[in-house]
Amino acid sequence: MRPVYVSGAGMTRFAKHPDRNFRSLATEAAQTAVRDAGIEPGRVEFVAFGNAAAGILTDQEMIRAQIALLGSGLEGVPMVNVENACASASSAFHLAWTAVAAGQCELALAMGTEKMTHPDKKRAFVALGRAVDVEALVKEQGEAVLTEGPGPLFMDLYASEARAYMERSGATQRDFAEAAAKNHTHGSLNPHSQFQRAVDVEEVLASRLIADPLTLMMCSPIGDGAAALVLCSEEAARSLGRAEVRVLGCVLGSGRREEEAGAGLVVRTARRAYELAGVGPEDLDLVELHDAASPAELIISEELGLAQPGEGPALLRSGATRLGGRIPINPSGGLVSKGHPVGATGCAQLVEIADQLRDRCGPRQVEGARIGLTENAGGWLGSGPAACVVTVLGRA
C-alpha cells in the first residue's frame, strides 16, 4: 500500500436548508474540495459518495452520486454509492483511500451528503429507524413504525447507554451538560456549525428533557449538509504542492450482535487504526468523535484509550478536552453543535482534522497540531453500533 495524502477539503454549512436540494449541497462541497486541491474536476478519477437516507427522505435511490453531482464537472467519473448508516461518509473515505493506496488511481474524491429536513417532520425519524434490525423493530412496535417512525429511537438507545455508563463510572448529568456546553462553545467559533452560539451548563440542563438523562442541548439536531475531500498519491500531492496532510491509517469495522465487555466495535477498530498508523492515543493532538448525544464523548474517550475505563468524567473535568487543553475533543463543535446530517458527518470530521493540520481553523485552531483522529460510528446492532470507521491523519 502506498502513501495517501489529503490534497483538498471542503464542506457546506451544516444547517436546516429548506430552499436547497440534495444536488446543490453535494455540488458545493465537491467543487470546494476540488478547488482547494488546485485541480480541475476532470482530473478526479474516482468518486466514493456516502449517503444514508436519500431513498426515504428524497426518494432518490440507486444512483445517488450520479444524480447529486450532475452539473458539478464530475460527470462521467466512475462513482460508487456507499451506504453505511451514520458512518456512510467515513466508509466512502475508506474506499477512496483504499483505491489510491492500492494504485488504482492517482486522485479520488470522498464525500458525504444528506438532506434530512423534510416538510413531513416524521420522515427523518422514519429514516433513522431503518438503521436497526427493522424486522425486530416491526415485531416490537408494529407495521405502523415503517410509515410513522419510531420517534427518537436513537436518543432512547443513547439514554439507556448513558444510564449504564453513569452506574459504572460515577458520571453525572452535569458532566454530560459540561461536554455539551464545551462543544457548543467550540461550535460558536466554527462558521460551518449549525449552532453558533456558546451556551453554559445551566442552559443545557434547563433545556427540554428528551430521554433521561438527555436534554435537548445534549442531542445532535436534524440538519442538511455535505462534506468532501480529495485524496491523492504522494507523487500527485507533491506535484500539486499539497503534500501537507497524510492519511496514516483508516480502518472500517462492523459490529456484532453481542459484544465482549471492554472489547466492543469502537475499541477493536481504534486498536487496528493505531497499529496501522504506528501511533497510540498518547500521540494525538486532537480528536473528532461521534457525539450524537453528549454522553458519547465520555464513553468514546475511554474506548479510544484517551482515558482509562471509568475515567472519562475526570478527563472532561480536568479541562484537557477543551480548546487549549492537552487533547481537544471536537474543536469543530462536534455533532451536538456542528450538526449531524448523518450521511455527511464522517467526511465533515475529516475536513476539520485536515484543516486543523493545515492551520486553517482561525479562533478554534489547535496550536501545533500534528496528529488527529476521527471516530465515526453508525447504526445499532443489539449491543452497540453496526459500523465504525477510525481514521488517523498526520501533518506530513
Report in angstroms the alpha-carbon separations of 79 from 4, 60, 75, 232, 324.
19, 16, 9, 16, 40
Whether 74 and 23 have beta carbons less than 8 Å apart is answered as no
CA distances from 217 to 57, 58, 179, 201, 388 (A): 24, 27, 10, 10, 24
Only one residue has cell 483538498, namely: 8
Active site residue 94: no
Catalytic-labelled residue, pool 17, 86, 232, 347: 86
Is 290 known to be catalytic?
no
Instruction: State the Cα–Cα distance between residues 322 and 207, nearest whole angstrom.
Output: 22
With CA atoms as reference, report the closest residue to 341 among 50, 28, 30: 50
Cα–Cα distances (Å) from 4 to 50, 68, 157, 208, 244, in that order, read 20, 26, 37, 45, 11
Nearest to 33 by CA among 342, 247, 371, 348: 348
CA 209 – CA 117 distance, rounded (Å): 22
Tell me the C-alpha distance between 284 and 287, whole Å: 7
Nearest to 301 by CA among 183, 125, 151: 183
* 108-132 CB burial, b ≥16 within 10 A, e <16: bbbbbbbbbbbeeeebbbbbbbbbb
Catalytic residue among 340, 347, 361, 388: 340
The whole-angstrom distance between residue 242's C-alpha and the CA centroid of its chain comes to 24
The secondary structure of 297-319 as a DSSP string is HHHHHHHTTSS-TT-HHHHHHTT
The set of catalytic residues is 86, 340
